[in-house]
Structure 1
Amino acid sequence: MTYQDEPTLAEDLLLLLFQPRSGTIAGENTLFYTLGGAVLADLALQESVTFSPSGGKLETVKDHVPIDPTLRSAWDYIAEKPRRVQTVLAAVGPALREPLLQRLVDRGDIEQRERKTLFVFTTKALSEGSNGRRAELLAAVREALVDGVDPTARVAALAALISGSGTLPQFHSEIPWNSAVIARAKELEQGNWGAGAAAEAVTRTMTAMIVNNAVAAVTVIPRTS
């Protein structure tokens, strides 16, 4: 498979969480919940999943089968039977980091080099790619959180997931960590995206429910990064 198609929401989220100054990824110890939330939010935005009328479980939409293999894997899991959001997060999230990171490397969004430590051990060092994609994504999120610009549905979901993951303070050099930004981020978490998001109300509500389930999962795990 080539990676010339539109990146998934989870890829964009992982790219944003990558911190160029340190070469690390913010929120590593809760990353699988956050990336899993991005996969489900992507399926919601594509109208590939919906909530069952009773029980509040996710169901697949049969005629909206995703093409991307990562999204398809999660879709297939939900297609087996309706499942709760946190069940899906726990099932699909842990396997996402490495293949998504490899996609970012293949696209040139992140560069990966091997280096030896203590002249013996080989480690992989990450650095920002030269194509400027991370800067573009970060600028769009900043516009939504700082400048009051109505985001697209995709940008709104990214900002909500970053906020919900607890990693937003780590972006302080680009996005100021103040009361106005915190309040706006919480609005996006709740699905209050503004007219520019161009998503149906039901899709916004469902995406907000997914984000908040991911947030609930993240908050029970102590953060060390």
Structure 2
Amino acid sequence: MTVTLAEEIMLLSLDDESGAAKEKQSASWAVAGGILLDLVLAGRVAVDGGRLRVADETPTGVPLLDERLRRIAEWAGRRSRAPKVTEWLTKDSRKAVEATIDSLRGRGLVRAEQHRVLGIFPVTRYPEADGSVERELRDGLRSVVLGGAEPDARTAGLLALVHGAKLHRLAFPDVSRKEIAPRLEEIAAGQWVAEGVRRAIRDMQAAMAAVTAATVITTVS
């Protein structure tokens, strides 16, 4: 089963048993960034100098991506200049998460369960329904980061987003960030894809770091 980068990040974020989202805010930035990166890899969106533009409005055939592409085109089209990546991530992160969870439910990878916090407040959680995709994903990430395997473009992009959003504990819960950070830096800087896409990844990493830092500052304040 082929899943999008956003779905992969969401699977890493959701607790398999309880369905609760871990590192919820940072993961939401990364989910929105994953959709954006998939659109970059598909040649639909270009990111350069920290700004994004729609390069091709032709649908990809993936509903999750095509709906975001349509929204980006409408939003960017109303602006006088190419908008910043950080602006889009901030605007779309919550909706991107909702759309990604709906996609995972449609694929039968998670299920919805209703709970009440303190017996009063209703909350929906999404425990695992089919763990095969996440197991394969985690095995692949470990083989690249810990085993030294050569990543393909999508895996390298996913790891760059994980690193940029500081989601190391989601992808590698039993390994310290200090231990894997040098390998993640190496992957992000590697010659694994066309230079234009590599520049886009660098810009998105910077955007991810910026919105994550802004969230931390807001929370502390």
Stretches of structure 2 lacking an aligned partner (at least 5 in a row): none
Q: Is the 8 A contact 2:6 2:35 kept in 1?
A: yes
Q: Is the 8 A contact 1:150 1:193 kept in 2?
A: no
Deviation per residue, 1:9-51 (Å, 9 max, x gap): 2122111222225532222123332222212212211121224
For 1:37, what is the secondary structure of its paired residue? helix
2:42 is matched with which residue? Answer: 46
Q: CA RMSD in A?
A: 2.8
CA 1:179–1:117 in structure 2 vs 1: closer, same or farther (change >3 Å)? closer
1:129, CA displacement in angstroms? 2.0
Q: Distance in 1 between matches of 2:50 and 2:122?
A: 47
Q: Distance in 2 between matches of 1:122 and 1:91?
A: 25
Q: Distance in 2 between matches of 1:216 and 1:110?
A: 30
Q: Is the 8 A contact 2:26 2:212 kept in 1?
A: yes
Match of 2:194 among 188, 193, 200: 200
Within 5 A, what are the aligned runs for 1:81-160?
Answer: 81=79, 82-115=82-115, 122-160=122-160
1:110, CA displacement in angstroms? 1.3
Q: Distance in 2 between matches of 1:160 and 1:51?
A: 15
Q: Distance in 2 between matches of 1:40 and 1:185?
A: 20
Stretches of structure 1 lacking an aligned partner (at least 5 in a row): none
Q: Which amino acid aligns with 2:72?
A: A
For 2:137, what is the secondary structure of its paired residue? helix
Q: Is the 8 A contact 2:57 2:73 kept in 1?
A: no
Deviation per residue, 1:158-208 (Å, 9 max, x gap): 11212222221244445x2254411112233xx3245xx4x2121122122
Q: Is the 8 A contact 2:169 2:177 kept in 1?
A: no
Does residue 1:35 correspond to 2:31, yes or no? Answer: yes
Q: Which amino acid aligns with 2:25?
A: N
Q: Distance in 2 between matches of 1:87 and 1:152?
A: 28
Q: Percent sequence identity over matched residues?
A: 22
1:76, CA displacement in angstroms? 3.5
For 1:110, what is the secondary structure of its paired residue? coil
CA 1:41–1:75 in structure 2 vs 1: closer, same or farther (change >3 Å)? farther
The structure with more helix, counted as a fraction of residues: 2
CA 1:182–1:75 in structure 2 vs 1: closer, same or farther (change >3 Å)? same
CA 1:112–1:142 in structure 2 vs 1: closer, same or farther (change >3 Å)? same
Q: Distance in 2 between matches of 1:166 and 1:14?
A: 14
1:10 is matched with which residue? Answer: 6
TM-score w.r.t. the length of structure 2 is 0.81
CA 1:108–1:60 in structure 2 vs 1: closer, same or farther (change >3 Å)? same
1:95, CA displacement in angstroms? 1.4
1:72 is matched with which residue? Answer: 70
For 1:129, what is the secondary structure of its paired residue? coil
CA 1:71–1:202 in structure 2 vs 1: closer, same or farther (change >3 Å)? same
1:125, CA displacement in angstroms? 3.7
Q: Distance in 1 between matches of 2:171 and 2:18?
A: 12
TM-score w.r.t. the length of structure 1 is 0.79
Q: Distance in 2 between matches of 1:119 and 1:18?
A: 22
Q: Is the 8 A contact 2:113 2:125 kept in 1?
A: yes
Q: Is the 8 A contact 1:141 1:158 kept in 2?
A: no
